Chain A
């Protein structure tokens, strides 16, 4: 999570709503609509897919820019190196930079992430994976641990991807808190280089939706360049402004 958008809201949690959700389908919708989280950041980021290839190595750049009706104009970037360490396990290391209030762009945090492909693609009704992250702020003794479920389901030439994350954060200058995040991407595999999608992000009292475009250009062997772009608009009273996210990933 990018820390530049730290805001504080105290949300009344509807415990009865949460406790009533016990079936599989509702776990995702529960995370979308429940207000268990205290808002603390922004949920718009990459929608993760549950797949890992052996011998995969990648470098990645992500950019996130938010403009909120003249109130803010924030920018964050991530630089990452990732490598599969097993047939179904990928580790990725991130350096996270943000633009501060003085318009200086500095290192703000670092993170390690593990993505675990739990099922073979296409073997079951849907494909499953899990994600684990540990992030520490550079200047502060603030930590964040994330774990979550990744699901992808094919419907003909379209793919539905769901991410549901449980986040715990603590530190010297932030409150201990538990949060939930939900991300959805519905992608039409039109052309390899151009795949339009729609993305939905929810959590921390934020609800945003918008178009996304992604593609991949293959080179020899495992070398390929992936790109993603999305323009997300907040659609509830707590979510104002627009967020542009870009990602470029080179696999080799």
Chain B
């Protein structure tokens, strides 16, 4: 059987690389997102309830002030994120339709609980910053 190596694989490679670059270039790297903040202290989220705008992607920064690791978890938000002690973590959420989206800390699910309310009503706009890769 002949091998595909005899075929113009360089052509395929070029096509693959170009396609991949175009895929990556499709990122909206200049987008701006609203930022929201939550603090985790003594295994409690503050605020435990937060309202964000509907149909918009937002940036949620969680400051874990505890001495232990926690994991942010939400099936409805489709997010899991490890929160290292004494560090901030960034979670990108949305765009979401209006509703309530529960979240909790996997290591302290009885105390570390909260809800994000997605509303179509006009909300006070927090600081808007350019997207960065902070984690």
**In this assembly, does B57 line the interface, its C-beta being within 8 Å of a C-beta of chain A?**
yes
Least Cβ distance of A170 to chain B in Å?
Answer: 9
Contact present for B11 and A21 (CB under 8 Å): no
Contact present for B28 and A54 (CB under 8 Å): no
Contact present for A27 and B23 (CB under 8 Å): yes
Residues of B within 8 A of A71 (CB): none
Q: How far is the CA of A192 from the CA of B94 in the complex (A)?
A: 19
Contact present for B4 and A36 (CB under 8 Å): yes
B35-43, B44-52, B76-84: which lies at the A interface? B76-84
Q: Return the CB mask of A14-30 against B: 1 if under 8 Å, else 0.
A: 01001101111011001
The residue in chain B whose Cβ has the minimal distance to the Cβ of A126 is B26
**In this assembly, does A156 line the interface, its C-beta being within 8 Å of a C-beta of chain B?**
yes
Contact present for B106 and A18 (CB under 8 Å): no
The residue in chain A whose Cβ has the minimal distance to the Cβ of B9 is A178
How many B residues are at the interface, by size bracket? 35 or more
Q: How far is the CA of A15 from the CA of B26 in the complex (A)?
A: 26
Q: A122-B91, A166-B16 are in contact. Are A178 and B5 (CB under 8 A)?
A: yes
Contact present for A120 and B75 (CB under 8 Å): no
Least Cβ distance of B27 to chain A in Å?
Answer: 4
Q: Which residues of A178-201 are within 8 A (CB) of B?
A: 178-179, 189, 192
**In this assembly, does A72 line the interface, its C-beta being within 8 Å of a C-beta of chain B?**
no
In the complex, which of the residues B4, B15, B19, B81 contacts A178, with contact meaning CB atoms closer than 8 Å? B4
Least Cβ distance of B13 to chain A in Å?
Answer: 9
The residue in chain B whose Cβ has the minimal distance to the Cβ of A13 is B7
Q: Return the CB mask of A156-178 against B: 1 if under 8 Å, else 0.
A: 10010000001000000001111
Q: A37-B4, A175-B1 are in contact. Are A120 and B19 (CB under 8 A)?
A: no
Q: How far is the CA of A103 from the CA of B14 in the complex (A)?
A: 44
Q: How far is the CA of A38 from the CA of B24 in the complex (A)?
A: 29
In the complex, which of the residues B12, B26, B90, B106 contacts A36, with contact meaning CB atoms closer than 8 Å? B12
Contact present for A123 and B92 (CB under 8 Å): yes
Q: A15-B11, A87-B135, A159-B78 are in contact. Are A149 and B28 (CB under 8 A)?
A: no
The 5 closest A-B pairs by CB, nearest first: A122-B92, A27-B19, A24-B22, A24-B23, A124-B27
- What residues of chain B have their CB less than 8 Å away from a CB belonging to chain A? 1-5, 7-9, 11-12, 15-16, 18-20, 22-29, 57, 69, 71, 73, 75, 78-82, 84, 90-94, 97, 106-107, 109, 131, 133, 135
17 new A-B pairs (CB below 8 Å) besides A24-B26, A126-B26, A149-B20? A21-B19, A22-B15, A27-B16, A54-B84, A121-B79, A122-B94, A123-B92, A124-B28, A124-B29, A125-B26, A128-B24, A151-B23, A159-B78, A175-B1, A175-B3, A177-B5, A220-B107
A-B contact pairs, 11 of them (CB 8 A): A10-B1, A19-B15, A36-B7, A53-B80, A120-B135, A122-B57, A124-B28, A149-B20, A175-B1, A179-B4, A221-B106
